Structure formats: structure tokens, C-alpha cells
């Protein structure tokens, strides 16, 4: 086998995440692929094959999995609220564990980024405030304009926390090693954080403390199931996707300090605009990282060299890659040997069958010898 490429060597060492030993520092980021069973929204054998192919990652974080039907925002995304979904995910975790991998679930509630066609009984999506997002929802019948959501009643918010708690219990029953709470990319928990989407005047809105309250209660709920060392949070404080509004640097600092105080095991940080610019005025991610001294998973636009530098410099303990995992099931080997990366077929990213999902080839033995 070739000597590991110098540019990626720091990514290849093991890492202790709480009680877990990860084989390397390369993380598979959550990647929505919309290939759950169309009726049950449960993972299938095809999904188990897909994740098993990528078990060489130090840590796999599953695609976002809605904590309830209310939490669904896209067609054919998996849930973690039914017995069929628990059984489907058990196929996935068993397949990953059989190859020595580690896999966390990402727990997801999209809030207003949905459509009545995806909601129970055709109900309106819920949100902190009744503000319609710009954009289109991906429904079973194609893209449709998003609607004005219904503002959650104060009395309903503890029920959202319980959705996450029960989903964590279900995920543990499905064999996951831990959980990541999705509080990024303009979904429900980030909708509570941002002033653009949270206009509430009760205990869940207004001040930084109030806007952060729901996230911290969800952290405590999920941590009570998996343990805080096996619980993390994904954040994207500078992103503008899903009409979440401009970033708020003061909010980012407050949230990181609060998460540090909570004892949560890791932060998975989208550094910059999700899928876009890494540099955003007002945000210094090197400085923000210092506010959370435990495990930091760096994400957004990383390649092997940049990821290795982040680890070697102490900026991050782990580095998450997203789209490269789609078309490179052997991404760790390619980073280790300096092989070029295959590019994904954009036409097969969402929905469909094995094509563009489990049929991307690994590098030939001759290439990595």
C-alpha cells in the first residue's frame, strides 16, 4: 500500500470520542438521499448496503432522520418514530458494526421547511413564529411552494422536546452508538435560535437565553438517553440557507458557551455558509472554536490537506466530509493515498434506486498498491 499522503496523515490517527475509539478522524457528514421506503419511511436493505460501503469512516453520522411525522420536510426521508423504522435502522447499524464502524444518528425536525402534504392529516408545518419561508418544498409529487407555518403554542413546546427524547430511545434500540441533534441549516431548532424566524414574546423567544432554551432542553433529553459524551449538536451560525436570515455572531458565541456548560460531547460546526463560502463577515471560526474546548467536528469545504491542517493545528479533532462520500465509498483510502476523488452524479442525489447510490466503485487494488 502507498505511504499515506502527507497532506492527509493527521486525519488517519485514531481518536477517543467519550468511551468510543474512532479508527480515524474522517467523519461522514449527514447526507439526505431520499431513499427510504416510500410507505413506511423506514431504511431498507439498500440503505444498509450504502452505509456499510462507507464503514471505513472514523464516524458515520446518518442522514437526518425525522423525530416524528411532523418533523418531515422532504419526500422519502427516513424517520425514527415507528417500529418499522427502528427495524430498518437496525439493518443499517448491524451492517456498519459488522465492519468495525461507528455510527450516530442525526435527529431532525424541519419545522417550517415542509409542506402540508408531508404533515399528519395535511396540517400546517410548525415553527416558532408564523413566518413563511421563501423556497419550495420537495414533496412526493415534486416541488411546491412552502406555506406559512403555524406558530407553536407555548404548551406544545415540551412535546417537541419529548419527540427528540423518544427518538433517541428508538435510535438506541436500533443500535446507534450515539446521536447528533440537528440545530443547523434553517430547521426547527435553528429557527428558534435566529431572530429572523423567532418573534416570540414568551419564554422561548426574545433574549439569547430564551431563544437557546429549546436547544438546551433537547440536548438534556437526548443526553439522558445516550449520555452526553455520545451526544452532539450540529450548528451553522453563519449560514443563510432555508431563508433563516443573516448570521448573528453574538448568538453564535452565546450558544457555544451554553453548549460547553451543558456538557454535550461535541459540536459539528458548519464553518461558513452551508455548501458555500467559508469566509463570512463577522465570524471568526478559529475564535469561536475556543469557546467549546471539547470535540469540534469541522465541516464545509474541507479537502484532505485543509482537514489535516485543522487537526494538526488543534483547530478540530475531527473533520466532516459530505458530498465526497457520495461518490467515494472508500474516501479514507483515497485521502490516505492521494488518489483523485470521483465526482457525484447530480441527477441521482435525491430519490431513486441503487444507481448513483451503491454503484460507485472503489479504487482498484492496483491504484492503491
pTM over 0.95: yes
Q: Residue 350 catalytic?
A: no
The two most distant CA atoms of the chain are separated, in Å, by 63
Q: Which domains are seen in the chain, by residue range? A: 6-368 (3.20.20.70)
Out of 15, 51, 187, 357, pick the active-site residue: 187
Tally of CA atoms within 13 A in the half-sphere of 212 that contains its CB: 20
Q: What is the DSSP letter of 11?
A: G
- Structural Rg of the chain based on CA atoms: 19
For the chain, first and last CA: distance in Å? 4
One pLDDT digit (tens) per residue for the chain, 369 residues = 454 555 688 999 999 999 999 999 999 999 999 999 999 999 999 999 999 999 999 999 999 999 999 999 999 999 999 999 999 999 999 999 999 999 999 999 999 999 999 999 999 999 999 999 999 999 999 999 999 999 999 999 999 999 999 999 999 999 999 999 999 999 999 999 999 999 999 999 999 999 999 999 999 999 999 999 999 999 999 999 999 999 999 999 999 999 999 999 999 999 999 998 898 999 999 999 999 999 999 999 999 999 999 999 999 999 999 999 999 999 999 999 999 999 999 999 999 999 999 999 999 765 655
Strands 136-139 and 142-145 turn out to be antiparallel
Amino acid at each position: 500500500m502507498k505511504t499515506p499522503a502527507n497532506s492527509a496523515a493527521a486525519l488517519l490517527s485514531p481518536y477517543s470520542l467519550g468511551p468510543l475509539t474512532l479508527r480515524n478522524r474522517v467523519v461522514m457528514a449527514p447526507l439526505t438521499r431520499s431513499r427510504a421506503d416510500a410507505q413506511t419511511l423506514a431504511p431498507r436493505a439498500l440503505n444498509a448496503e450504502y452505509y456499510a460501503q462507507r464503514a471505513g469512516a472514523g464516524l458515520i453520522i446518518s442522514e437526518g432522520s425525522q423525530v416524528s411525522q411532523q418533523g418531515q420536510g422532504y419526500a422519502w426521508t427516513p424517520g425514527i418514530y415507528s417500529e418499522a423504522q427502528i427495524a430498518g435502522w437496525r439493518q443499517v447499524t448491524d451492517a456498519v458494526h459488522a465492519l468495525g464502524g461507528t455510527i450516530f444518528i442525526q435527529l431532525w425536525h424541519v419545522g417550517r421547511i415542509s409542506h402540508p402534504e408531508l404533515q399528519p392529516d395535511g396540517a400546517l408545518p410548525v415553527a416558532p413564529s408564523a413566518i413563511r419561508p421563501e423556497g419550495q418544498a420537495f414533496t412526493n409529487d415534486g416541488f411546491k411552494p412552502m406555506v406559512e407555518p403555524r406558530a407553536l403554542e407555548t404548551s406544545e413546546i415540551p412535546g417537541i422536546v419529548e419527540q427528540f427524547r423518544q427518538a433517541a430511545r428508538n435510535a438506541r434500540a436500533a443500535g446507534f452508538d450515539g446521536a447528533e441533534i440537528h440545530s443547523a441549516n434553517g430547521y426547527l431548532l435553528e429557527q428558534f435560535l435566529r431572530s429572523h424566524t423567532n418573534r416570540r414574546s414568551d419564554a422561548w423567544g426574545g433574549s439569547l437565553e430564551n431563544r437557546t432554551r429549546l436547544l438546551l432542553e433537547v440536548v438534556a433529553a437526548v443526553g439522558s438517553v445516550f449520555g452526553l459524551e455520545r451526544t452532539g449538536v450540529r450548528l451553522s451560525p453563519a449560514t443563510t440557507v432555508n431563508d433563516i436570515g443573516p448570521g448573528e455572531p453574538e448568538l453564535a458565541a452565546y450558544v457555544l458557551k451554553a453548549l460547553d456548560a451543558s456538557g454535550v460531547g461535541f459540536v459539528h460546526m458548519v464553518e461558513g455558509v452551508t455548501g458555500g463560502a467559508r469566509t463570512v463577515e463577522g465570524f471568526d471560526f478559529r475564535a469561536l472554536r475556543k469557546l467549546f474546548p471539547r470535540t469540534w467536528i469541522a465541516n464545509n469545504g474541507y479537502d484532505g490537506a485543509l482537514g489535516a491542517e485543522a487537526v494538526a493545528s488543534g483547530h478540530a479533532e475531527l473533520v466532516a466530509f459530505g458530498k465526497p462520500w457520495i461518490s467515494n465509498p472508500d474516501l479514507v483510502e483515497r485521502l490516505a493515498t492521494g488518489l483523485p476523488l470521483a465526482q457525484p452524479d447530480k441527477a441521482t442525489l435525491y430519490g431513486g434506486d441503487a444507481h448513483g447510490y451503491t454503484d460507485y466503485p472503489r479504487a482498484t487494488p492496483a491504484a492503491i498498491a
